[in-house]
Structure 1
Amino acid sequence: MKIATVGVHVLDTHVIGIESIPDGSDGQLVETIRFSPAGTAGGTAIVLSRLGAEVLSFGAVGTDPIATSLLAMLEAEGVATAGLVRKAEHQTSASVIPVRPNGDRPAWHCIGANGAFTPEDLPLTALDGITHLHLGGPEFLGGPAAGELLAHARSIGATTSVDVLAPGDPDLLAWIQDAFPHTDYLLPNDEQVLGFTGAASLEEGARALVALGVGCVAVTQGAEGALVVTADETIEVPAYPVDVVDTTGCGDAFSAGFLRGLSLGRSPREAAQLGCATAAQVAQGLGTDHGSYDLASVDEFLASS
C-alpha cells in the first residue's frame, strides 16, 4: 500500500486533569501536557505507517516552531513530508484539548495553514505510483476541486477515501458532495451522518450518502463500534473493550485500520474489525500516536478479543 494522505495536518496539545478554567490570571496544576500529530490526514498518516503502509503526506503548514515539531513527529513515524508546503503567512494548524476527569474533551482549534492549502500546492505528478488517495478535510478544497483530485487518483489506478473534519450539516454536504461520485470510501462519524442527512437512523443516513455516489460509507459510532454500508449490504462491527484514557484520534485510527485492511484484501467486515481494533490501541493513551503497536500486534489483539 502506497498512500497519499492529503489535507488536514494539526499539532494537538493535550492537557489532562482540567477541572475548570482558573479565574482571572490564576494558575492550576494539571497531570500531563502532551503534543501529538493529528488531523484527518496527519493522524491517519501516522497510524497507516505503523500498520505497514508507505505514506506520503500532502498539505500545508507554516514556517513556525509548531511546523518544526509537527514535521519531526510525522517523520519519526516514517511518514514522507516533502509534500507538505510551507505557508509563511499562516501559522501551522493547532489544537489545545483540555481533558476533564470524566473524559470530556472540549477543544480550542486554529485552522491556520490548512485553510490556505489549494490544489495548486499538490503537483499531480507527485501522486504517480500511489495505490490509494485519502483526502482528509474536503471542505477546505470544496466539492468540485476535491472531486477533480479524487478523479485523477482513480485515473492512475488508485482507490479513494474521504474523511470530513467539520461537523455535519446540510450546507456542508452541499459544499462537498461533488466529490462523492469519485469517492470509494467515505469515513464519517455518526453525528456527521445524521447532521448531513437529517435521517432518523444511522443506516438510513449512510444509505442516503451512498445514493449521492459514494461507494461505501464506514461510520464510526464511538463505544458502539462501526457501521459499514454499501448499496448491497449493511455490516455492524462492535468496539473492543479497553480501559479508555482519551478518544482523541480514534476516528483517524479507525480510518487507517479500515483502509489498511482493505489494501490487504480483507473483506469489509474484517477491515472494519481491524479499524476498531486499531482505534482501541489509541484509546488507551493520549493522542493519535499513543502506543507502539504494528499490524502484527493489532492482529494479535484481534485474535485474543
Structure 2
Amino acid sequence: MTMTVAAVGVHVLDTHVLGIESIPSGSDGQLVETIRMSAAGTAGGTALVLSRLGATVRSYGAVGDDPVGDTLLALLGRAGVDTAGLVRKDSAQTSASVLPVRPNGDRPAWHCIGANGLFTLADLPPDALDGVTHLHLGGPEFLGGDAAGELLARARAAGITTSVDVLAPGDPDLLAWIAAALPHTDYLLPNDEQVLGLTGADSLADGARALLDHGVGCVAVTQGARGALVAAAEGVAEVPAYSVDVVDTTGCGDAFSAGFLRGVSLGRSPVEAAALGCATAAQVAQGLGTDAGAYDLAAVEALAAAGESCA
C-alpha cells in the first residue's frame, strides 16, 4: 500500500565510535574498531528507515548551514528521503551526537541540540502536507504542545494519520508541556522510561493507559530487549523482541517507530505492526546506525516470519 510520510522535527547527525574501552588521559590517543556517521533523530532516523521500508518520505526540520548539515542531508538523500523541506539556519550548527560504544554495549553520548532548537511551524512550507498519508512528528517538545497540536490537528482534518515520538526524558512537566498535542495523536511511540517518567505510574501498562486517557489513540512503547508493549482501547499486549547478534542499539527506537508505522500503513493491527517494529529494530541493532547494512521491507518481514523471538 502507498505510504507518503511527512517526517517533521528532530534531525541529528550521529557519529558512532565502536570499541571504546576508556577515554585516553591527557592528549593521548587510542585506536578503535570503527568510526561511522549516520542520520538520526526522532524524525530523521525514522524518516530514513521508513524510506528503506518502501515509503515515500519528505523530511521537514532545521539544520545548520555547515558541513555537518551537508553530511546529514547527503545521508538522508542517499536513502531516498526528500530533504528539500529541511531549512538551513546560519545562526546554529546542525544537531549532532557523538556515541562512544563500549565493548559491553554501553553507549554514553555527547549531544548538541543546535538548529533543532530553532525549528518552528513557520519553517514549514504551505504545501508540506499535500499528498501526505502520514504525519510523523519527532520531538513535539521543541515546538511546544500548542504548536504541535495545531500541526497534528491540521493533518487530522486532512485525513492524515498522525504519530508522535518524544525525544526528551519523561517527567510530569514534559507531559504538561506537550499535553495539547496528545488528543490529535493517533499513535504515540515512547520508550518505557519516558512512559513511567511522564505519568509516574508504577507499571508500564498503567502508564500507557494513563496516556490513552490524555486522548492518544494507541500507545506503542519500546522496552529494549523485552520488545514492546501496545495499549489501545481494546486492551494491552506485550510483543517480544527478536534474538540477534547486537552490535549497537543506537537508533533502534527510531527503527521500531518506522517498522510500526509501516505495518499500520499495510493494514496490520497494532500488535502485528509492533512485531514488524521489533523486527526492524533487530535489523538495525546488528550494525552501526539506522542505515547500516542493505535491508528493505522484505528482509525485515523475513526476520519477523522466522519467529526467532525471545521473551
TM class, shorter-chain normalised? over 0.9
Deviations 1:123-149 (A, max 9, x none): 242211100100000000000000000
Deviations 1:64-121 (A, max 9, x none): 0001110000000000000000001110000000011111000000000000001100
Pair 1:173-2:144 in alignment:
no
Supply the RMSD in Å over aligned alpha carbons. Answer: 0.7
Equivalent of 1:146 in 145, 148, 157: 148
Pair 1:236-2:248 in alignment:
no
Measured in 2, the distance between the counterparts of 1:165 and 1:100 equals: 23
Measured in 2, the distance between the counterparts of 1:188 and 1:170 equals: 14
Q: Give SS of 1:291's match.
A: coil
Aligned pairs, how many?
Answer: 305
Pair 1:99-2:101 in alignment:
yes
Q: Show structure 1 runs of 5+ residues with no match.
A: none
TM-score under structure 1 length normalisation: 0.99
CA contact (8 A) 1:128 1:156 kept: no
Deviations 1:236-291 (A, max 9, x none): 11000000110000000000000000001011111111000010100001111112
Deviations 1:172-228 (A, max 9, x none): 111111100000000000000001111000000000000011010000000000000
Measured in 2, the distance between the counterparts of 1:270 and 1:291 equals: 24
Query: Which residues of 2 match residues 47-126 of structure 1 at below 5 A?
Result: 47-126=49-128
Measured in 1, the distance between the counterparts of 2:127 and 2:244 equals: 43
After the TM superposition, which parts of structure 1 deviate over 3 Å for at least 4 consecutive aligned residues? none
CA contact (8 A) 2:40 2:290 kept: yes
What percentage of residue pairs aligned between the two structures are identical? 78
Distance 1:267 1:103, change over 3 A: same
Matched AA of 2:40? A
Measured in 1, the distance between the counterparts of 2:157 and 2:102 equals: 47
Q: Give SS of 1:127's match.
A: coil
Measured in 1, the distance between the counterparts of 2:132 and 2:47 equals: 14
Residue of structure 1 equivalent to 2:166: 164
Residue of structure 1 equivalent to 2:299: 297
CA contact (8 A) 1:63 1:92 kept: yes
Measured in 2, the distance between the counterparts of 1:249 and 1:130 equals: 24
Equivalent of 2:38 in 16, 36, 59: 36
Matched AA of 1:187? L
Measured in 2, the distance between the counterparts of 1:173 and 1:124 equals: 29
Q: Show structure 2 runs of 5+ residues with no match.
A: none
Measured in 1, the distance between the counterparts of 2:64 and 2:160 equals: 29
Query: 1:150, CA displacement in angstroms?
Result: 0.3
TM-score under structure 2 length normalisation: 0.97
Query: 1:21, CA displacement in angstroms?
Result: 1.1
